[in-house]
Amino acid sequence: MDSIFILTGAGISAESGLGTFRDKDGLWTRYDLRRVATPEGFRADPALVHDFYNMRRRNCLEAAPNAAHEALARLQRQRPGGVTLVTQNVDDLHERAGSPEVIHMHGELLGALCAACGHRWRAPERMAPDDPCPACARSATRPDIVWFGEIPYRMDEILERLSRATLFAVIGSSGEVYPAAGFVEEAAARGIATIEINLEPGSRKDLFDRGLYGPASETVPRWVEGLLQA
Ligand code: APR
């Protein structure tokens, strides 16, 4: 039986109404990522950064999983232990679709982190710079998000699981941001079969053995059905 490693990006949540980053009208065409998604930006203006993530958290809570999220949850349930789902996304739509395990390598909108003591807790809908940490009481609260220039979470575990995969799939990601963008090279170097599932062929399409193109809510259920029937 295949050991499937799946990496998802913003494209899988696009049809749930959560904008992507680099498409037309994407978040990074409307916000300066240096100001809202870097440790330096947070030090310079924590209120601005909290407002940005409060807005995204509100949108996330108002959104619902789509057929692509549901199909992956179905695959995980029908292949217990045979699927690793890693997401670059910070929304909780995979979990709300019923995915039993999701590795959030870039953090989670619904999480808060104390930059002073490292304590984590469930984020309130609205966060503010002077929110006290429930553990150390200091006002060093930040969204539990991995910003540009920071190291993604659970990388050792992610690479270990990738090394054991027999099939590697990327869904709804432009492949612009490392280290996630480098996983396909890692997989190809290990002779693991690779597939890109995206709205349209990405800039790194030639690195993949196969491509499946179209809206994720259509392509992913089809791809999953094929795997479950194989
Ligand atoms: N179905 C499938 N793919 C889609 C859809 C859709 N409905 N809509 C858009 N896409 C594709 C786009 O064609 C694009 O290739 O999703 C991709 C989204 O790319 P990005 O906006 O760059 O998002 P992502 O790759 O997840 O970004 C990676 O960058 O900004 C940082 O930390 C942030 O996790 C993020 C990382």
Helices 216-229 and 67-78 cross at an angle (nearest 10°) of: 20
- Is the overall model pTM greater than 0.85, yes or no? yes
Percentage of residues of the chain with pLDDT beyond 90: 98
Side-chain-side CA neighbours of residue 181 (13 Å): 9
pLDDT at site 23: 94
Find, among 208, 209, 156, 203, the residue nearest to 179 by Cα. 156
Q: Is there a catalytic annotation at residue 106?
A: yes
In contact, 97 and 116? CB cutoff 8 Å: no
Neighbour-count burial of 187, counting CB atoms closer than 10 A to its CB (0-12 exposed, 13-18 middle, 19+ buried): buried
Q: What is the pLDDT of residue 230?
A: 86
Spell out, as residue ranges, where the chain has pLDDT lower than 50.
none
Mutate which of 87, 173, 195, 218 for ligand 1? The one with the most ligand atoms within 8 Å of its CB, which is 173
φ/ψ bin of 176: left (φ > 0), alpha (ψ from -120 to 50), beta (otherwise) = alpha
Using an 8 Å Cβ cutoff, are 112 and 142 in contact? yes
Classified as helix, coil or strand, 100 is coil
Strand partners, 114: 141
CA distance to 32, 37, 41, 145, per residue, from 149 (Å): 15, 9, 11, 12
What confidence tens digit (pLDDT) does each residue in 87-131 have?
Answer: 999 999 999 999 999 999 999 999 999 999 999 999 999 999 999
Choice among 50, 94, 104, 106 that is catalytic: 106
CA angle 164, 218, 176 (to 5 degrees): 55
Interatomic CA distance for residues 27 and 226, integer angstroms: 34
Atom of ligand 1 nearest to the CA of 68: 1
User: Which ligand 1 atom sits closest to the C-alpha of 180?
Assistant: 28
d(C-alpha 129, C-alpha 80), whole Å: 41
